[in-house]
Amino acid sequence: MEQAPATRVPAKKTAAKKAATKKAAAKKAAAKKAAAKKAAVAKRVPAKKSATATAAAVGGQAAAEAPRVAGKTESHTALVRRARRINRELAEVYPYAHPELDFENPFQLLVATVLSAQTTDLRVNQTTPTLFARYPTPEDLSAANPEEVEEILRPCGFFRAKTKSVTGLSKGLVEQFGGEVPGRLEDLVKLPGVGRKTAFVVLGNAFGRPGITVDTHFQRLVRRWRWTAETDPDKIEAAVGALFPRTDWTDLSHHVIWHGRRICHARKPACGACPIAPLCPAYGEGETDPEKAKKLLKYEKGGFPGQRLKPPQSYLDAGGRPAPPLGAVPGA
């Protein structure tokens, strides 16, 4: 009987030892599992880059990583997350993104947007100062001599058709809306030559009403990013609109269009200098060599002036340069 305590103590010790070993093994297994999970997440979604790292990548200083997005198997939730993350990254790359047409009021923006078809915003910005100095209101432009307007608009290309469009829409503004640009989509699209794209540019930027601008850059980029497979602009607008809150729509449009103009070009996307390469299923469609890709960058990313002769202060503060007036740069 006396030996009983002596035999109980070692038994207790053995049990405690066993429990400790079990606990350590469990801890090890948990750590192993956590490491595996972390590695899997890192493989799917690379760690978020800082603004500095992102900015450094845009210049080709940091080689773009290989894409890690499996578009085909991506769930809707994952797509929403990736799309919003791309938008956030682009907001860091282009914090000064803005409409690239110079305007001082809704009428000027409406006319400039119509003139921007088949030409660059730069060329429109170089042309409109003369137009608006001579015809500052819808009344003035609707009563203008078409030949004089044609002469002013010649640098924009398709100047006869564009003269008809801007004088026609000015007439529409005078006759239907008392010479004021309406702030509603259903009214704007009643004006001759004004479609949803033009209407959303005006609503988003002159009236502060959210709108998605599905231009050629927007269409190309959202397909590259597999945000949608739609090809019809109205369907693209609906599909992309469903991925973002309405309040993001206007800025989202700027970010996408700015990226399309500066880095993700139609024919030679600069993948090797692209800050969102890790999130892009189309990485590799363009130049992947960082040094070669850097040479493809346009506007301020390539060290050149922007498109606006009068850009917002935020753009100038960030080191952006105003575009030169017409004829100041050969071939501009």
Q: Active site includes 197?
A: yes
The count of residues in the chain is 332
For the window 205-244, what string marks contact with ligand SF4 as x by the rule CB under 6 A? -------------------x--------------------
Chain position carrying tokens 């001759």: 192
- Window of 134-142, 239-247, 248-256, 281-289 that interacts with ligand SF4 by CB under 6 A: 281-289
Q: How far is the CB of 69 from ligand SF4 (least distance, A)?
A: 10
Q: How far apart are CA 181 and CA 109, in angstroms?
A: 10
Identity of the residue, 286 or 305, whose beta carbon is nearer to ligand SF4 in the bound complex: 286
289 binds ligand SF4 (CB under 6 A): no
- Answer for which of 222, 274, 296, 309 binds ligand SF4 (CB under 6 A) is 274
Site size toward ligand SF4 (CB under 6 A) is: 14
- Window of 30-38, 105-113, 277-285, 317-325 that interacts with ligand SF4 by CB under 6 A: 277-285
58 binds ligand SF4 (CB under 6 A): no
DSSP for 145-173, written as a single string = -HHHHHHHHGGGSSHHHHHHHHHHHHHHH
- Would you say 168 and 192 are in contact if contact means Cβ atoms under 8 Å apart? yes
In the structure encoding, which two tokens stand for residue 114, read together?
A: 């119509």
Q: How far apart are CA 66 and CA 64, in angstroms?
A: 7
- Would you say 321 and 306 are in contact if contact means Cβ atoms under 8 Å apart? yes
Q: How far apart are CA 268 and CA 189, in angstroms?
A: 34
Q: Active site includes 48?
A: no
Q: Distance of alpha carbon 311 from its chain centroid, rounded?
A: 18
Closest by Cα among 296, 275, 243 to 78: 243
323 binds ligand SF4 (CB under 6 A): no
Question: SS3 of 312, please?
Answer: coil
Q: Where are the alpha helices (DSSP H) in the chain?
A: 3-44, 51-57, 76-93, 106-115, 121-134, 138-142, 146-153, 159-177, 185-188, 196-206, 216-224, 233-241, 249-262, 290-294, 313-317
Q: How far apart are CA 288 and CA 281, in angstroms?
A: 14
Q: How far is the CB of 105 from ligand SF4 (least distance, A)?
A: 35
280 binds ligand SF4 (CB under 6 A): yes
- Answer for which of 206, 256, 263, 323 binds ligand SF4 (CB under 6 A) is 263
- Window of 72-80, 136-144, 244-252, 276-284 that interacts with ligand SF4 by CB under 6 A: 276-284
282 binds ligand SF4 (CB under 6 A): yes
Q: How far is the CB of 286 from ligand SF4 (least distance, A)?
A: 5
62 binds ligand SF4 (CB under 6 A): no
- Window of 101-109, 153-161, 210-218, 268-276 that interacts with ligand SF4 by CB under 6 A: 268-276
Among 49, 197, 294, 301, the one annotated catalytic:
197
- Answer for which of 199, 264, 296, 309 binds ligand SF4 (CB under 6 A) is 264
Q: How far is the CB of 206 from ligand SF4 (least distance, A)?
A: 29
The catalytic site residues sit at: 197, 215
Residues that bind ligand SF4 (CB under 6 A): 224, 263-264, 269-271, 274, 276-277, 280, 282-283, 285-286
